[in-house]
Chains A and B, each alone.
Chain A
Amino acid sequence: MWTCGGFHRKGLERYLVGHTDVPNQMATTTSKKKTARKAAKGRVSAETLAKGQREISVSEFFAKNRHLLGFDNPRKALLTAVKEAVDNALDACEEAGILPEIHVRLLQKDESRFKLTIRDNGPGIVRAQIESIFGKLLYGSKFHRMKMSRGQQGIGISAAGMYGLMTTGKPVHIISKTSRRTPPHDVVLKIDTSKNRAEVVSEKEDPKSDTLFPGGTGTQVVIELEGRYQKGRQSIDEYLEQTAIANPHAQITWVTPTNETIEFPRAVEELPEEAKEIKPHPKGIELGTLIQMLERTESKSLSSFLQDEFSRVGQRKASDLAQRADKLSSKTITPRSRVSQLGHAEAECLYKAIQEASIMAPPTDCLVPIGSRALLAGLLKEVQAEFFAAATRPPTVYRGNPFQMEVAIAFGGNLSSDESSRILRFANRVPLLYQQSACSSFKAVVETSWKNYGLAQPRNSLPVGPLVVLVHMASVWVPFTSESKEAIADYDEIRKEMKLALQECGRKLGTYLRRRKQMKKQSERRGIFERYIGEIANSCHSIAGTDKKKLYDALLKQAERKTKEADQRLDLDGKIVSAKRLEQDEDVIILAERQASIGEDENDGLFGEDMPPTTKRRTTAKKSRSKKKKKKTS
């Protein structure tokens, strides 16, 4: 849920920590109401209001704002709890360099009450940290960390625990083992929401639990909570399925409330590279963040603040920014100005200066895409298709934030052919299950003209056919449309990259479909010739008195020879060569054995009208015309 990014956290922090000077430009939904009121009443009443904010307790906040954290209804609450725990497990394993093995089990206690158990083989959590991690919201948050990871807020798992406590009154039960030599510690925690702190209910060292962690380390979390379990779209099953696709290095076991065990086996044996941490880029920062950074920095002068806290700002750029800010400000601003002396107004000038100045784009080597091969491996094990292709775009930047797009498609096989295609959306390897049509990726798929690749596509809609499209955005900051972090915001740069990746995959699909059609034709060829030669022998016999049987046999012999020849010629000339190119393409997988099942329902979008190959003599003009036409069709 809290994939990455500060929006969210900033909003929350205001309630919880109670910063008084919240800038009105902050673009967070959480603060929208307040900001509006503040703007209407002016500064004084805003101060008063802000004082009131300080007194809101965590539980009060949480009770009122469940929906912001993904607990808006019982079904979604279950999903969110699973998601928080699984995302944490994956993050922990990756950071520790361990191939993840995750067990998820949901036990139904009564109609609306469930016991959720999630266990991983990660590094474990040292005893001293347990209370803070599970009992404190916003614990361990690295506010200025610009690093690609699933979680960043430091509220995920504690929120899940808190939701459990609030709906069932049951504490959270943690068993964690941090080394082979020490026995696991077993801790039962009750979260004191008013104090934002955990209370230990019971605690022991329990060697019996060693069996839970055959790898020597790991963590198990048990939460009892209210919920509703239902399969289908936006379910735990879908979330895990898609998680398995985007994380083919993970092994996931899922035991459903009906005691059904579903395995998502590991498809690639190596861990993704570790993401590098970078400093934020000046252009990617909002005014509110800038103000907080100014407050918290250890740097003394403006110049060193800019150089220390941001990427791509050197001494010269820092002076340039200070100069520009000075021009906008009523108070003098120099590179040597004390940071502590800069007020709100100066911060705003500095913010404007940053927007004006041209600053080198941030480094992009901090991104770790899933990679075409891993994406294909992930899709391959979860989707019963016949054709797979993937494309990874080079990293680029929107609003100062490095990002990278990846797309993979699966086509044919057992996928349904008369429905709209399905889009699987991911941000930093986390599946996005809600608000599809608000998502930039949805728009990118709709705007791609799939007709060019041989698929049907009603106007302004998704293509129709046995197609699954996977879109993944990797970024140190994924811009979501709202705090529920369900849809990627529609930035032009992002949509453009998505479309380029989609087109790359689409072209490969087009080549494949054209070739599949050709192969079908080849097998038909024999049939065609043999079908007609009987008629021809009859006619010739009737008109010219030719021996019917003799002519038939002669023509049949030729037909057989011709089909053989034609097949061979196809092997040598361009068409099959291009197909070979497909086969040699590392980003394409074709499963011939799945082809048969859909051979019949040819979708004749573009390739329907094949021009009959006619040999033209003495017609140079005509020849070039028909060539042009062929080019257009291909």
Chain B
Amino acid sequence: MAKKKTTKKTTKKTTKKSTKKSTPRGSLVSKKRDQETIGKIRDLATSVAKSGLAQREPRIEIPIRSINNMKYNARKRILEMGSNTQQRELFNVGQARKFMQMLLVSKGCRDLIQAEKTLSLRGMYYMTLHTIEGTSEKTFNEQGESDTILEDLEVTIDGLREELHVFAKKRGTMVGNITVIDNGDEINCRRMGTGGYAIPSICEPNVIQFKDCDADFILHVEKDTVWSRFNEDRFWEKHNCILTEGSGQPPRGVRRLLHRMHKELGIPVYCLLDCDPWGHYIYSVIKQGSINLAFESQRMAIPEAKFIGIRAEDYDRCKLTNDVKIALNERDITRAKQIMDYPWFADKKHWKKEIKTMLGNGFKMEVESLITKDISYVSEVYVPQRLKDGDFLD
């Protein structure tokens, strides 16, 4: 390990220079893609203007982003967006405001791309926020409103968020046997101290490249607290892996990075999540994609991802005590049943059994509950054992 570290240090400068050449700092995507995106936005505005001038009703066709317009592609084993669309019309009392907002956000993104800058979702909200002339009405009442419109725009012009130069608040941490280039800076994830490398919200190849990696697998954990346990115990060093964390449901950046590492570096992804419907849902999102971002599943889902634990059987298997039980509430039970009914769980007998066992137990458990055995039980006994036995849920 130590040897590797030093080699990396020496190569650092050269790599930096070379990357700088291929992708200049500050640009998330290539100039060419930028021009394409601007073109798509222009087409949208032009079609609205044309209809208006020709006394036809301006309308925008937007693919529907909801569970009803989502298909599970059994061959690719990912969630995909269906072909259903909805019409957003200007001359419709319920839709007029959204129609107007759509054009405002389009203009905002176009300006952003032209200025070669990027903004957070919140930044985009402020950029498009003003009071409508002659009224006291604001263009947006809260950030949530502009966030959804942006997602509508993404699917409408079939552009990715980073192509629109907007990013979400970053969340998620990484550490392990890998060196990445982030916007030209070389990051050695073996030397990230206790804090770890903050995974950027945009992890496209333009921004992040993998320099070297000798990890055998990726261990993704649900929460920062569990991640810290593993990092302090230097788990990634002992087991030669990459350790990531997504603060609950992993944001796009984390999912995109996991997807790329899995595909490009050819290493498996194991998930350590709570034994509750929320944990199961996170696993489902990592594996098949999320309902809201089904259109991005292709770039984010990891159908091969495995679920290490913790599992309903662990209460008996690890001889845990009563104290760790957290009773399932009404909502948990409905959610669990919903998850069991997901089409992508349809032929997973083991999963159905797992959820049934949990429901039968009547309680959920957090990964942290293993601390009742020993501070480092999870990193020194539990996970190594599961890995050794190859005992995963799929």
Chain A residues with CB under 8 Å of chain B are 521, 524-525, 528-529, 531-536, 539-540, 542-544, 546, 550-551, 554-555, 557-559, 562, 610-619, 621-622, 625
Contacts and interface: CB of A to CB of B under 8 A. Distances in A.
Contact of A625 (B48, B68, B84): B68
B57 interface: yes
B241 to A, nearest CB: 44
Contacts of B97: 528, 532
A542 B98 CA distance: 19
A555 B45 contact: no
B91 A543 contact: no
B119 interface: no
Given A535-B103, A539-B45, A613 B95 contact: yes
Nearest to B48: A540
A536 B100 CA distance: 6
18 contacts: A521-B93, A529-B96, A532-B90, A535-B103, A536-B52, A536-B99, A539-B104, A540-B45, A540-B48, A540-B103, A546-B49, A554-B53, A554-B55, A558-B57, A559-B91, A614-B87, A618-B85, A619-B84
B68 A555 contact: no
Contacts of B83: 618
Q: Which of A532, A533, A618 has its CB near the most chain B CB atoms (within 10 A)?
A: A532
Contacts of B41: 543
B137 interface: yes
B242 interface: no
B110 A619 contact: no
A535 B105 CA distance: 11
Given A539-B104, A543-B42, A612 B94 contact: yes
B92 interface: yes
B107 A612 contact: no
Interface of B: 41-42, 44-46, 48-49, 52-53, 55, 57-58, 64, 68-69, 83-100, 103-104, 106-107, 110, 132-135, 137, 139
Contacts of A528: 93, 96-97
Contacts of B42: 543-544
Contact of B49 (A534, A540, A614, A619): A540
A135 B42 CA distance: 99
Contacts of B57: 558, 562
Given A528-B97, A539-B103, A615 B48 contact: no
B91 A562 contact: yes
Given A536-B99, A540-B48, A612-B94, A531 B137 contact: yes
B92 A613 contact: yes
A623 to B, nearest CB: 10
Contact of A539 (B68, B84, B85, B107): B107
B87 A532 contact: no
Contacts of B44: 543
Contacts of B106: 539, 543
A618 B84 contact: yes
Given A532-B97, A621-B68, A558 B87 contact: no
Nearest to B66: A622
A551 B93 CA distance: 20
Q: Which of A521, A529, A544, A621 has its CB near the most chain B CB atoms (within 10 A)?
A: A544
Nearest to A620: B84
A25 to B, nearest CB: 52
A244 B24 CA distance: 88
Contacts of A546: 45-46, 49, 53
Nearest to B137: A531
Contact of A614 (B58, B86, B133): B86
A535 B104 contact: yes
Contact of B90 (A536, A610, A625): A536
A181 B117 CA distance: 107
A546 B42 CA distance: 11
Contacts of A525: 93
A55 to B, nearest CB: 71
Given A540-B45, A559-B91, A534 B133 contact: yes
Contact of B132 (A535, A542, A559, A619): A535
A615 B87 contact: yes
B49 to A, nearest CB: 4
Contacts of A534: 132-134
Given A528-B97, A536-B100, A616 B84 contact: yes
Nearest to A556: B52
Nearest to A559: B91
A536 B103 contact: yes
Contacts of A610: 94
Chain A to chain B: the 10 pairs with minimum beta-carbon distance, closest first? A612-B94, A543-B45, A539-B103, A546-B49, A532-B100, A544-B45, A540-B49, A562-B91, A544-B46, A619-B84
A532 B84 CA distance: 27
B68 A622 contact: yes
Given A535-B100, A557-B55, A619 B45 contact: no
A480 B94 CA distance: 53
Contacts of A543: 41-42, 44-46, 103, 106-107, 110
A532 to B, nearest CB: 4
B44 to A, nearest CB: 8
Given A615-B89, A622-B84, A531 B135 contact: yes
B95 A619 contact: no
Contacts of B55: 554, 557-558
Contacts of B99: 532, 536
A581 to B, nearest CB: 24
B215 to A, nearest CB: 44
Q: Which of A531, A543, A614 has its CB near the most chain B CB atoms (within 10 A)?
A: A543
B68 A617 contact: no
Nearest to B94: A612
Given A531-B134, A546-B49, A617-B85, 14 more contacts: A524-B93, A531-B135, A532-B100, A535-B104, A535-B132, A535-B139, A536-B58, A540-B52, A543-B46, A546-B46, A612-B94, A614-B87, A614-B88, A615-B89
A612 B53 CA distance: 26
B103 A529 contact: no
